[in-house]
Structure 1
Amino acid sequence: MEGIAKYRLEVNISPDKLEAGILLRVDEEDLDTLLLSEGDIYKELEKKKIKVGILDNVVLDLCALPRKYANSQVTIARGVAPVQGVDGSVEYPYLDSVVEGNGPKELEDGRVDYYNVTSIPNVAKGQLLARKIPAGQGTAGTTVTGETIAPKAGKDVVIKPGKNVVQNQERTMIYAAIDGQVSFTDNDKMNVFPVFEVNGDVDFGVGNIDFVGTVVIRGNVLNGFRVKASGDIRVLGSVEGAELHAEGSIEIKSGIVAQDKGHIIAGQNIRTSFIQNANVTAGNQVIVSQSIMFSTVRAGKEIICKGAKGIIIGGVLQAGEKIAARVFGNTSATPTILEVGVKPELRQELVQIQKELQVVYENLRKTDQGLSVMNQILQVSGELPPDKRMLQIKLTNTRLVLEKECKSLEARKKDVETELKGEGPAAIEAYHVMYPGIKMTFGKLVHFIKHEYARTRFVVLDGEISTATLI
């Protein structure tokens, strides 16, 4: 119609179909004579099959104030985004009945009882230990064109039964099969172990301990003694140059003074107040409240020393994910080595594989020499004597076995080297200060600390070790 402004409506749908926009294309000189009706807009939306989440207030606004929206896209419809399902989880009802000690208690005569600091969290046969909460399926969404968007289900979780526990038929609950103490071992398996208690020191009066369960020592573990447990080990005193090996976790209340003797090994976590001149290895975490001094400490995930003192000086510390302390080193620039980014056992395994391969290569060389001699005899005489024939068969079989072993070791070596190259995110965190003298290694990247850093986090970004200030 003559005198009526020309315009064009363009409707665009986002790639995920959760939003639609409308664009009013009109020349500036036509805006004053523009007549735009709600019906025109709804008709355009209908052409694009948009029927969900239409913003009626925007439609009214567009008709009333076209100048405001001219030649500029505005959202005209919004769909409903799907809601991802909640990840599955595990509840541990037995923890509700566990009461930990609140520290040393003062006796009537004024002395302090340091031996009964911890109450042992025992469970009873038949007690519910773990309950699986299934992952949520989420809520479906709807596109602006009315299509259903399937939600993403949450990640499922698996509860892993270990020793002396039973599951229900649906595998959603774990119950204790005996009276004892809960302990988590390799791959987070849940176990119940009987408890063996020593009401004093592990000394010549007690001897070495090897127990299929959890061991609680209410005194100290002295030089040269061994304590082995398939569950946890709890020491309410200190540990000297002894050997402790727990498939679960180890807790030492008063610290470790090893004088470069013995070895503390836990499949899960090691928790103590201080570590001095010791060799400590944990599959998961090493958590220290005061200090780590001149020790070799390895952890599959983290080494944490960030208490009120929280200082690490000297030694070699290796962790798969993080090493954190309040203070690293001292003003004397004592050499301290920090390695993160790869599980320490991978480095050790690679060294062991390389040693084993050298032995296999040497045995293969000797076997090939023997077979070569047999072939020379055969070429000269046309046949082998019975004893040489038996030796040839034996060498041939030996070579087949060595070849198979060699292929297996080389394949594992390749896998380990790949893991060493592709280390996951790792960090070293100094919550107060890091002094010079520190050598830090992230996988294959090495950095020497030559000046003080205050409240600093060290990470790898774009193939280089970089720093960020901790708040």
Structure 2
Amino acid sequence: MRPNFTDSILDELENFEDGSFQIRNLNGYAMLSVFKAGKNGKAVSVKEVLSRIKLFGIEVYDTNLIQKVVREADGEEYKIAEWKGGQPQDANVELEFSPDSMQCYMTITPPKHGGHMISKTDLQIIFKNNGIKYGLKEDVIENILTNNKYYIKYLIAEGTQPISSTNGYIKVHFDSSSKPELNPDERGKVDFRDIHLIKSVKAGEILAEKVDPHPGKPGKTIFGVEIPFDIGEQGEWKLGENVSLDNEGKNLRSLIEGRPVLDSDGTIRVDEVCLLENVDYSTGNVDFPGTIIVEGNVADNFTLRTKGSLIIKKSVGRVFLHADKDIVLSGGVMGRNGGHIEAGNDIYAKFIEQGNLKAGHNILIVEASMHSELVAGDSIIIMGGRGELIGGETIAGNSITVSKLGAVVETRTNLMIGLPPAVLDELKKMKMEIIAKEETLNKILQSLQKTNESFSQKKELSVDEKELLKKLIGLEKKYSDIIRNLNAQYESITSNYDGSENSFIEVEKFIYPRVSINFGKGKLFNSELKTINGKCYVYLSQDGVPQEFPFPPKNIKKSLQNPKNSESD
């Protein structure tokens, strides 16, 4: 017959339990009790008993009697010696409670002169008398009692902290990334016709929903007092244009067919999309609050402004583009040193030649930038195609990454890196002022040229004509002086700024001669007479000197290391 659980326990004790003994002080006498071991258990030895007796400071004892008690092991108490040296003192338990009633620590002092040992029952009474009702660590307590852990402070009870509710939030149902998907093919080329920047929704489509807070769980102190949990906050709607909430305030729908946008502050709106075939005299300059898409050409000297993003699918020339968000130039820029392109966030372009670009965050170019002025608050990356940066002036707050820097024909190429935001903003303003003054000067020069051509046919000029000519010459000198002064200020600032020690230049293949990299305050790196081959980085050494390194800086920070994984702002 198969034994039940009780029979199994009894059988284990009968066969495998080790023997045990105890010594206590009873009215000034040492009393010894020895308990028999199971059939296969370890019996108590005389040596163990004598060792314990010596610990109690008992020097005179009845050895023969001890041997007899150990041999018989009948569990009875026998007087084996007179206990001298003091009255018995029981073991002492000290409890220490944390101020928040969440923890209890216990320290046990051993008994003296054969005093009473602490038992589990004793502890249960002590815990009850001290009001401990929750969180007892039974395994720790068992270990203390079994192994006689004295003079050590143990955590023996611990309450449970409350679990706060998770806050509610707004769950957006559309792809809120404002970055183009720049996915290179097997040859490393990016198809700007397939960038998936324009997402669209239909009227009535759900844009987002409000998710309620998830309830929390109360905690409890070691005294059994419940601790309430913090209630989560509701998600708050931030509504822009062309959206509407349902009656329950749970779902947000689009009122129009257009482009859904999630702004950096959490505002959800739907932009109207302005689709244009061309921008020329048939349309005039364009100022539109939503997204502008131009399928064809933008004629020289025309202006497009938008609070959203701007996408132009063919190359542009001397144009003036401004977008609060992103600008995508699928066909590139042939600026011919005129016009101006500015984005609050990022600019993406296939190539730039003699262009003037400014981005609040990043500029990403696939093929090349040639003889252009580029300014980015964070990073400039020219990779994916030829990856060339040749000539011009390139300024970035954090990093510049290219495949080839400079040209085989040793074109002078200037870079500035690590500008503090305040310096960068001031340089942007100065550059805009210089551009505006140069445009005014060009108009004055054109007018002066036409006036001279007209007056060259006359033998003598009238008083008014002389006055006009004098006025134009005066304006030419005035604006030339202004531009000269602004350029001098610009050069002074760029030569004396404190560069960021974490900024760097990354080059995949070549740094050609006549490349100059300015890290601020005279910290220049020049490749005047040599070509540097292979992947390298240029940044400030520990001594603050710009140097070429085969490895990146420790505190590397790149906003667009992998364009495919771009995230929304």
Aligned equivalents of 1:452 and 1:11: distance in 2? Answer: 64
Aligned equivalents of 1:426 and 1:167: distance in 2? Answer: 49
Matched, 1:182 2:260: yes
Larger mean CA deviation between 333-342 and 225-234 belongs to 333-342
2:200 is aligned to 122
Matched, 1:49 2:131: yes
Q: Conserved in 2, the CA contact under 8 Å of 1:186 and 1:268?
A: no
Q: Conserved in 1, the CA contact under 8 Å of 2:337 and 2:355?
A: yes
1:24–1:166 CA distance, 2 compared to 1 (3 A):
same
Tell me which protein shows more strand as a share of its residues: 1
Offset of residue 55 of structure 1: 1.1
Aligned equivalents of 1:278 and 1:155: distance in 2? Answer: 49
Offset of residue 151 of structure 1: 3.7
2:80 is aligned to none
Aligned equivalents of 1:339 and 1:156: distance in 2? Answer: 41
2:173 is aligned to 93
1:451 is aligned to 547
Q: Alignment partner of 1:451: what SS?
A: strand
Which of residues 326, 338, 352 is equivalent to 1:261? 338
Show CA shifts across 1:62-81 (max 9, x none): 11111xx3222222122222
Larger mean CA deviation between 181-190 and 48-57 belongs to 181-190
TM-score, length of structure 2 as denominator length: 0.51
> Gapped runs of 5+ residues in structure 1?
106-111, 352-424, 461-471
TM-score, length of structure 1 as denominator length: 0.60
Larger Rg: 2
Matched, 1:7 2:91: yes
Matched, 1:242 2:312: no
Aligned equivalents of 1:119 and 1:317: distance in 2? Answer: 25
Q: Alignment partner of 2:95: what SS?
A: strand
1:286–1:62 CA distance, 2 compared to 1 (3 A):
same
Show CA shifts across 1:127-183 (max 9, x none): 111223344453332233333444455565433222222223555432211222223
1:227–1:56 CA distance, 2 compared to 1 (3 A):
same
Which of residues 236, 244, 247 is equivalent to 1:158? 236
1:21 is aligned to 105
2:394 is aligned to 315
Show CA shifts across 1:364-397 (max 9, x none): xxxxxxxxxxxxxxxxxxxxxxxxxxxxxxxxxx
Offset of residue 37 of structure 1: 1.0
Q: Conserved in 1, the CA contact under 8 Å of 2:342 and 2:357?
A: yes
2:153 is aligned to 73
Aligned equivalents of 2:134 and 2:419: distance in 1? Answer: 52
Q: Conserved in 2, the CA contact under 8 Å of 1:240 and 1:256?
A: yes
Aligned equivalents of 2:274 and 2:151: distance in 1? Answer: 80
1:6–1:213 CA distance, 2 compared to 1 (3 A):
same
Q: Conserved in 2, the CA contact under 8 Å of 1:438 and 1:449?
A: no
Alignment identity in percent?
21
Q: Conserved in 2, the CA contact under 8 Å of 1:183 and 1:191?
A: yes
Offset of residue 48 of structure 1: 4.5
1:305 is aligned to 381
Q: Conserved in 2, the CA contact under 8 Å of 1:94 and 1:127?
A: no
Aligned equivalents of 2:98 and 2:359: distance in 1? Answer: 51
Q: Give 1:238-387 correspondences, 5 Å limit.
A: 238-256=315-333, 258-272=335-349, 278-282=355-359, 285-286=361-362, 288=364, 290=366, 295-299=373-377, 302-303=378-379, 305=381, 314-318=393-397, 323=399, 325=401, 335-339=414-418, 342=421
Q: Conserved in 2, the CA contact under 8 Å of 1:274 and 1:288?
A: no
Offset of residue 90 of structure 1: 2.8
Q: Alignment partner of 1:237: what SS?
A: coil
Offset of residue 18 of structure 1: 3.7
Q: Conserved in 1, the CA contact under 8 Å of 2:388 and 2:406?
A: no
Aligned equivalents of 1:42 and 1:306: distance in 2? Answer: 74
Offset of residue 16 of structure 1: 5.1
Q: Conserved in 2, the CA contact under 8 Å of 1:140 and 1:151?
A: yes
1:63–1:458 CA distance, 2 compared to 1 (3 A):
closer
1:218 is aligned to 295
Q: Conserved in 2, the CA contact under 8 Å of 1:116 and 1:218?
A: no
In the alignment of these two chains, the number of paired residues is: 363
